[in-house]
Amino acid sequence: MSPFSATNNLSGTETLHIHLRLSQYREETSPPVSMPLPPATTPVPQPVFMPGMSHAAESPAPAPAPSAIPTRPKDDETTDDKNQDPSSPATSLPRLRLHVQDVAHPGSSIFLSSVNAATVLRSSIDSIHAHLYSQPPSSPPPTRSVTLVLRDMDGVAYTTGSDLDPDHKEIHFSLRYISSIAPSSRQSAEIRGVLLHELVHCYQWNGRGRAPGGLIEGVADWVRLRCDLAPPHWSREQVPAKWDVGYQGTAYFLEYLEDRFGKGTIRRMNEKLRKERYEEKAFWTELVGGPVEQLFEDYKKTLLKGGQKD
């Protein structure tokens, strides 16, 4: 081949010439390199191009080593292709992150010593899928990442979409609350229970935003209940003021519906909240054949009967 026969006869300077051409080519492929110098352009784009600068800094480095020739461009191409983890497509697990805002806080060491941070989010998401999305499989919301933020704040925890994109979720969990969990034997279960509740919010449907907040909170605590992570102060016997009081009050009502209408009722309810806008009367009649107020009256009767037996 001509390139090889040519290089056999080439002097070192010609080899070097080839190398310089490669370097030039690489600079052309990263256009911002020469841009930051002339400040004639508007200052705004410069931060956007800043990450490119680190690439540019790498470019001149190979030039001083005039070693063997043409393999480098291919190497660069493959490193530019970001390899996917082959294990990821099976379960569409989002990117999971942990952000500990204050490692010196007592709550941080309690959290890190009570749960396996590397697996607790994943196993919680698996549980949510098992209760809300299995048999037949349906589609969870397109949550693309979950960032767990441990920070010192009032309250227990909350979940929100990120500033940039609602598909990127943030769970904020109070270090102050974590450090207050007592007795210490409760720490692991309470942390896992709160995380599970918040993760349900990352994966449940809401009837196009029309489902009552109490129902949303009730579903989250229902999953917690089903995963045997109900805290000891929850009481099945307590009669809630209304069906959508939220949290454990609604969770036990949902448990009653699951028992009465069969396994998978709450999963079907979640699926219905995915497919359509929540309109109370039609929603419950189509789901379980009657208005929710009537079901709630039936539920309260079973609680009162149970109370009389005791």
Kindly list the residues in this chain that would bind Zn ion in the complex (CB under 5 A).
Answer: 217, 220
Query: To the nearest whole angstrom, how small is the minimum distance from the Cβ of residue 254 to Zn ion?
Result: 14
Whole-number minimum distance, CB 36 to Zn ion, in Å?
Answer: 47
Q: How far is the CB of 193 from Zn ion (least distance, A)?
A: 12
10 vs 156, beta carbon nearer Zn ion: 156
Q: Which is nearer to Zn ion, 220 or 229 (CB)?
A: 220
Taking the least distance from each CB to Zn ion, the nearer of 33 and 195 is 195
Nearest to 265 by CA among 288, 236, 289, 244: 288
Can you spell out the DSSP letters for 22-62? HHHHHHHHSGGGGSSS-TTS-STHHHHHHHHHHHHHHTTTT
**Nearer Cβ to Zn ion (60/161):** 161
Residue 57: partners with Cβ closer than 8 Å, 6 or more residues away: none
DSSP symbol at 145: E
Query: 53 vs 156, which CB is nearer to Zn ion?
Result: 156
CB 31, CB 53: distance < 8 Å? no
Q: How far is the CB of 177 from Zn ion (least distance, A)?
A: 14
**Kindly report the CA angle at 305 between 302 and 310, in degrees rounded to 5?**
130
Name the residue nearer to Zn ion (CB basis): 220 or 287: 220
Cβ at position 221, least distance to Zn ion in Å: 8
d(CA 194, CA 196): 5
What HEC string does 149-186 produce?
EEECCCCCEEEEECCCCCCEEEEEEEHHHHHHCCCHHH
- E strand segments, 201-259: none
Quick one: 248 or 265, whose CB is closer to Zn ion?
248
Query: Min. distance of Cβ 157 from Zn ion in angstroms?
Result: 8
Query: What's the closest the beta carbon of residue 218 comes to Zn ion, in angstroms?
Result: 9
SS3 192: helix
H or E element that contains 95: strand 95-100
